[in-house]
Every structure is written in C-alpha cells, then in structure tokens.
Structure 1
Amino acid sequence: MLLSKFVNFLINTKPLYAVMKVLAKRALKSSAEERGVSWDGHAKRLMSDAELKQIKDEMENKSMVYPSYYLQPFHAYDEGNLNWLAACEVEPATYAMAIRTFKSETDLTPMEAQAKLRKNITSAIKDYFATHSLQSPTNIVDVGCSTGISTRWLVNEFPGAKVTATDLSPHFLAVAELEERRHEREGGTRRVHYMHDKAENSVLETSSVDLMSFQFVMHECPGDAITNLVKESARVVRPGGVLCIVDNNPQSKTIQNLPPALFTLMKSTEPWSDEYYAYDIEQCLRDLGFTEVVTVCTDHRHRAILGIRAQ
C-alpha cells in the first residue's frame, strides 16, 4: 500500500516523527477531553501518589530481559510502556478509544462507551463458551493486562473465577495493583493476582488455564512475537480451554477507510502495525493446536479470535 510505505518513510524521518507523535497524542487526548474526561488531572493525581513507586519496587522482576520490540518508542512515548506518564495516562486513553469507536453515539458518556466496548468483548467470550458447551472458566489469565481495566471486566463477568493478570511493564502493573489495594482498603476482597511476567516465556504452569485473554496486545507486536505468544498460550491453556485474542480488525471497513491524515497519525504510534495487519492469527492458532477457531466482530473496529486447545 503506497500510503503505508509513505507513512513508514515519515516515521523513519526523526524530525517528522517527532511532530507526528505529538499530533497523534493530541488527537486522542482531544477526543477524551471534548467528552469531559480529565486527561491531565487523572494523570497528575496518579503520578503524585508515592505508593506507586513503592508498589513497582515490590512487583518488578529486576532480572527481566525485555524483548527488543518492546524497547522501541510507541503510543507516542519514547520509552514505550516503560515509564510513569504512559502508565498514568492509560485510563483516559482507553476512554478516548471507546469514544472514538462509538463516536456516532454522542449520547454515550465516556464510561458508557467504555462499558459498551468491554461488554461486547466479554459477551463474545461467553457466547463462545455457550456455543461449544464449555463450562464457565474457573481459572483465567489476562495477558498484557496493562493497568487492569480489561482484567476487572473479566472479574466482573466471571464471578468466582480465579483471575491472574500479567504485563511486561512494572509501571502499568503498579497502577493496576494500586487500584486493587484501594479496593481492599475499602473493604473489598482481592480480585486479581498481578505478576510482572514475559508472555512469550511465562512462569505460568503448563495446562493450567481455562481462559487466556489477550486484549489489544497483538497489534503492538511483530509477527515472530505473535507466533511466540500463541505458542506459549498453547502450553499454558489446558486441553479444552480457550484462547481469546481481542484487537483491531484488519477486515474492518472503518479501519480500511480511515482518512489518510488519521491513518498516518494512528500508524505513527504503532511501529508494528504493518506486520500485525498482514499476520494470519487464525491460521497461527490452528497450526499450534487450537480447534474451532472463529473470529467475532465485537464492534465495527475490533474483533475477538477464539479457539479451543485440542484434547
């Protein structure tokens, strides 16, 4: 695609890329603030919380060797996900994503848009379990959990399940764990066990998980990393268990018909998007031992790919 090649040229031209990433973040931020989301206020409150750094020190695997693809700039942050600003801006950014997904539904509040996006995902998972006469999962892992937004939705939709969540960023995990500790201090019981873990080579036990979920992770990975993530999932998910991968849908007419300017800005924050959109994840699942592989459109921009680990 000529436009994609031209955008790659712009991204690889450092002065131009520096401008592009600022514009990309500004566009996302404006979407949130126009609908009443306090982007800067939320980030400042979190960054001023001294407990965050303490939690990070407790949770971080100091011997972690980060994959090279994870150390590149993305999402308009020079350090990718390995910094406090990125971690503290996740929540308003997810509101912006939901608002932009349902931008024609102007009566939706940011929280309602977020709820609709997440409910569509969990409904797709529940429908898949029901269609294949599978028992509701009792052991769930949310991989690439970020600050725990997707994880808490899984907790709410699958009450009683043991939920573990992993991420490669100790900064993101600290924000997730802070929320969990606040929940406990307010009288709630612990809902999630968070771990600083590398998804391609995890510490999770073999054949131990009923449902493994990746939500908005794969588009941030090159093709070989996607293969390795699915391969590791095939080790961890038990026979008869389910793998679910939620992300942008390459077949989406909305994404295919993005205006060139918006496409350019979006691509500038996602260095591996070319490889993601060209990668056949469904076939990868089949090749690595998953059956009943299907793709479900969760909305006009996103999809859920689901498969059952072969017996």
Structure 2
Amino acid sequence: MAHMAWIRVPAPTPVVTASSASWQRARRPPLCSASPLSKRAIDEPVPTLGPVAAAVNRVLQLKPLLQRAQSSATEMMRTRGSSIGADWAEHKAYVERLAPEQHLERLVQSDTLRRLPQYYNVSFHAYQAGNRCWSAAMDADVATLTVHSTLFDEENPSLLGDEQMRFNFCSTICMYLEDEVDDARCVVDVGASTGLSTRHLLRTFSNADIVALDLSEHMLAVASALLEHDGLTERVSFVHAAAEDMPRVVQRRDVDAVVMSLVAHELPRGALGQILEAAFELMEEDALLAILEIDPDAPAAGRLLSNPFFRGLFRSTEPYLDDYLTLDLPRAISEAGFTFVAKHGVSPRHAAFIAYKPRASDHT
C-alpha cells in the first residue's frame, strides 16, 4: 500500500457554496452563515447534557466499560480500514522504515516536556499514553483517513473523504484571501500532528513558510520523517511546543494566517481559550484565522451524536468532547479579540470557521 498521504482526489468539487468575496469586502459584519451568538462562553461551565450524553458519560466513568468501549472503537476502525484498503500494519511498517526516532532526537524540546499541560497527560484515541507515543503517531494518518472515509457517502466508504474535506477547507481559505494567498509570508499549522494538514497548507500557500507546531514530539517526528521523504520540508519548520506558547516559541513576526485543523474538540475549554488568545497575540493585523472542526449544528453530525452507541465509542476516545460540543465557538473566537466572519460547511459533519485579527484603528 502506498503511503496514505499520497492519495489525491482528481479535481474535487468544493462543498463551499458562498459566493466569492474579496477579503477586504469580507471585513464587514458576519456573512450570515455563522450561528447566532448564544449565552455560552469559553470560561463558562459545560452546560447540563441531554439524557443520551449523560447516560453515556455515566457508563464511561466505569473503567472496565471505558476500556471495552475503547477496544471496540479501535477494532471497528481497523476493520473498516481493511475493507477499504487501509492496512494499518503495513502503514506502520512503512513509517518505521523512515526512522522517525532520529527526527525526534532533533526536534524534542526538554523545556516543552517540563511545561507539559496537565490536560495532555490523558488517554486519547484509545491509546493509554495519549498522543505522546509511537503507536499513536504511526497510526495517525491511516486512522484519520479511515475515520473520514464515510464523510461524503456513509454507505460507500472511501479513503478520499479526508482529502475532499481538507480540499474544501483550503478552498474556503482561498475564497477569502483570493490573490493574497500567494503573498502570505508565514502560516502556523497549530496541532500539525503527522503532517496531513501541513501538506495541504503547502499546496494552498505556495510561497509561505509553514510552521508545523505540535505538543506531541512523536507526532512531529513522524511528520518530519514523512515530509522529508517526500521532499516537502524546504518551507516547513517543526516546533515542539504547546500552542498556548505560540508567541514565545514561534520566532516569526510576519504571521499572516493561523490554521487549526481538528484540534479544538481535543481541548478543554480553558486551553482552547488560551490558544486563541495566543494566536491573536502572534498574528499580524488583518491576518486570517481558519479553524476546521466538527460542526455540532450539521444534521449529519447531529444524527451520529444522538446515537448512544456511536456517541459512546466517540466519547471513549475523546476526553474533552463535551467541552467542545456545548461550546459556542464563534463567540469564543470573538472573545479572544478576533472579528468572526463566517462558518462554511466543508463536509456533511465539519465546518470552516473564519475570522481575522482587526486593525488597531478599527477600534478607534
């Protein structure tokens, strides 16, 4: 099996339906695809959950049942992957041959390990060591493509689902930036993981340097190994750090965009708020913030999350899922200082949340 990231979608059709408008014109009140602001805020407690979610959480508080749910989720993923040509063992062997441990030695930052946030020392995605282990890092690409294989056709899974979604996300970014996308100097990929998002940003921002930032030294090492093997590291710098520390660790003062793909739902609310504030501090005025995330308001996502079996499996691998699903993300973005512009669907279950850092003169 070829490396997962080599898969390409021929001339995909974007889901984005908003008419193209220049970024200058977009710097007006929201384009109306954003949800109305609710009373929920980033620093407010998670509201009372509905009966399905509450029942699922009670069950998952029992460790044997949590471990069983995690095991079932993993087995279901591997079975689905095998049925569509995603061989997890073969992909792991491929990554191992690239010797990512050599990249880890070069990238790991002892200061980051000393400052590791407590929220990160938990089980993620059924890996007891969370994201900071080789198993999670070596499985990440193939797991992501397997998870997203049913995004556009639940009856006919395809390894191209993830590629289509990310293409739509980057198309949304281009819709707002238009010609300015080629003038971007530096783009920060927050939570770059093993580099799937980084690859798309390299294509989208053809002249920009990409800062791939991640808190997992293992994920970052695999990203470095894969991208180096494919000859894609010339414009990429890898930073092992917490996203909350962006202003301190990103040694650039020309950041024209901060992009965060599928990270917010893996964060407690307080951490997400700190990361948004850090991005705001780091970015240039007029710079773009683009977040790819689950859209709880999307009918397809709602159907899945209302299914007790699916929600149980999903919640067992995502410790902060409820924090995200009950959060008003547009308001959280605005509270960090950004001007929120719009939300656009990029898959039946995901949306692009678009905002920008206003000029200081906008407040005078």
- Shared fold (TM-score greater than 0.5)? yes
Report the Cα distance in structure 2 between the residues aligned to 1:206 and 1:235, rounded to whole angstroms. 12
Counterpart pick for 1:280 among 308, 313, 328: 328
TM-score by length of 2: 0.79
Equivalent-residue separation in structure 1 for 2:98 and 2:245 (angstroms): 31
Please identify, of 146-155 and 36-45, the stretch whose mean Cα deviation from structure 2 is larger: 36-45
**Aligned residue number for residue 73 of structure 2:** 24
Identify if the C-alpha distance between structure 1 residues 221 and 254 changes in structure 2 by more than 3 Å, giving closer, same or farther.
same
Between the aligned partners of 1:104 and 1:283, the Cα distance in structure 2 is 31
**Correspondent of 1:138 among 165, 171, 185:** 185
Look up the match of 2:220.
Answer: 173
Partner of 1:74, secondary structure, is coil
The residue that corresponds to 1:39 in the other structure is 88
- Counterpart of 1:6, as a letter, is A
SS of match in other structure, 1:63: helix
Deviation at 1:181, TM superposition (A): 2.2
- Any unmatched runs of 5+ in structure 1? none
1:50: Cα distance to partner?
Answer: 6.9
Higher relative contact order (CA 8 A, sep 6+): 2
User: Aligned pair 1:122/2:166, yes or no?
Assistant: no
For 2:151 and 2:233, locate their aligned partners in 1 and report how far apart those are by CA, in whole Å. Answer: 33
Identical amino acids, percent of aligned pairs: 29
Task: Assess, with a 3 A threshold, how the Cα gap between structure 1 residues 221 and 210 changes in structure 2: closer, same or farther.
Answer: same
Deviation per CA, 1:237-285: give whole Å up to 9, x if none.
1100011111111101112112321121111111101111111221122
Partner SS for 2:55:
helix
Say if 2:271 is the partner of 1:271.
no
Deviation per residue, 1:43-95 (Å, 9 max, x gap):
13323x37211211111011222111111111111011000000000111111
Q: Deviations over 1:107-134 (max 9, x none)?
A: x741x3232121111011111223xx85
What code does the residue aligned with 2:298 have? S
> Which protein is richer in strand relative to its size?
1
**8 Å contact kept, 2:194–2:222:** yes
- Preserved CA contact (<8 Å) 1:291 1:309: yes
Paired residue total: 303
Tell me which amino acid in the other structure corresponds to 1:34.
S
Aligned amino acid, residue 281 of structure 1: L
Q: For residue 215 of structure 1, what is the amino acid of its counterpart? A: S
* Residue identity opposite 1:35 in structure 2: I
CA distance in 2: counterparts of 1:189 and 1:78, whole angstroms = 31
Instruction: Assess if the C-alpha contact under 8 Å between 1:35 and 1:109 holds in 2.
Output: yes
Q: Does 1:190 align with 2:234?
A: yes
Unaligned runs of 5+ in 2: 1-49, 360-364
- Residues 206 and 237 in structure 1, CA contact (< 8 A), matched pair in contact too: no
Mapped to 2, the partners of 1:219 and 1:208 lie a distance apart of 28
Query: Structure 1 length normalisation: TM-score?
Result: 0.92
Shift of residue 135, structure 1, vs aligned partner: 5.3
Q: In the alignment, is the contact (CA less than 8 A) between 2:214 and 2:242 conserved in 1? A: yes
Q: Hey, what's the Cα distance between the residues in 2 that align with 1:135 and 1:91?
A: 27
Report the counterpart of residue 38 of structure 2 in structure 1: none
